[in-house]
Amino acid sequence: MAKEDTNGGAGTSNGIVSDGVPATVEEVDEKVDELTLADSSETGGQEAAKKKKKKNKSKRKKDTKEQTDPPTIPVAELFPQGNFPEGEIQEYKDDNLWRTTSEEKRDLERLEKPMYDSVRQAAEVHRQVRKYIRSIIKPGMLMVDLCETLENTVRKEWSTSWYCIPYRMFIELGCSPLDPNSGDKTVLQYDDVMKLDFGTHINGRIVDCAFTVAFNPMFDPLLEASREATNTGIKEAGIDVRLCDVGAAIQEVMESYEVEINGKVFQVKSIRNLNGHSIGPYQIHAGKSVPIVKGGEQTKMEEGEFYAIETFGSTGKGYVREDLECSHYMKNFDVGHVPLRLPRAKQLLATIDKNFSTLAFCRRYLDRLGETKYLMALKNLCDAGVVQPYPPLCDTKGSYVSQFEHTILLRPTCKE
């Protein structure tokens, strides 16, 4: 309890009232100075903390690399933690919609993370390379120069090793595939319709993708037809879906388009003897075909499978044949030991096994490895059934073809 002083005021102790309030003007001034110093100290601390936080944020931003133009930084360095971007996610439809929220299926996906990381890295390489290539394509370019630019870009996108499944380009009457050989002088023209189809892989997990370039807007409906047909195929694909149903949906969309070329109207046709395909480890064509017309196989798609959904729209007959010089080859996946009589063929096969295994390659790749005078040996390997040649495929002369392709994975819970 406070004591009463001689002046009749409230009792104090050392000039301060019992509730801590200053009793004199001098003491009030001293208290104000103390509070000012305390506020200043606290404010300074907050500012220092803000500066430190800003510095750390700036450091983190500096540590995060951004891709150059043209791309020169390996994708693995852009994502040092190995968390590569997911592809576009689409939910399953109808009877498979339950998979989206199934905990059991989510557990299965967690077990497959290393495989998903590999294919996502390959997809990111493909995405960055095709984005850059789209930006530099123009009339007047040599086709072989465009090929070399693409392949060099893919090499830079890899951190330790690289492989570009051959760059396939085809103009006007070509459909699939044509990879210019060394010395090819073909020049890209304004009125050309050029298809670009190449693949990338990490640990054998292949991403196969294609797109079409046309500078003349006259061809826009043709490109739109195959683009939308491919998107339809992806939308219709799914676990337990029959391949023939996917083909029927693709054809319906493709052939709903018309294109006017130099005053003449053409209905866009699906090329009936070209297909999409399943993809396996180190196997670009894994056994199942995805038709792009109705009446195909009754086989069902299965969980965990990879598919290249690709469509071809043509102003010609909608049927292709082999033509022109072959540049594209691939060792047969299931071939066993085949006795070879030519020593040069044995030597060439050793080079193919070491550098390409069962992945596709072109003659320029052999040139780059220092192989010379190998055409006879390569023909011997083809004749023996060890290597399969893939010559260009063409529709009728004067026709135009567009192509779009994407790779999808039928995950347990969704399509990616």
Residues labelled catalytic:
197, 208, 277, 285, 310, 405
CB 189 within 8 A of CB 198: no
Strands 306-314 and 275-279: antiparallel
Q: Give me the helices (H) in 239-279, please.
A: 243-254
Q: How far apart are CA 323 and CA 116, in angstroms?
A: 38
Which is nearest to 144 in space by CA: 91, 186, 102, 178?
186
Cα 122 to Cα 116, 158, 213: the distances in Å are 10, 9, 23
Do the beta carbons of residue 113 and residue 161 sit within 8 Å? no
Tell me how far apart the alpha carbons of residues 266 and 258 are, in angstroms, rounded to a whole number. 6
59 is written with which tokens?
């450091």
Contact 153, 129 (CB under 8 A): yes
What tokens appear for 349 in the block? 């096969």
Q: What's the rounded Cα separation, in Å, for the pair 72 and 230?
A: 31
Cβ neighbours around 119 below 10 Å, total: 25
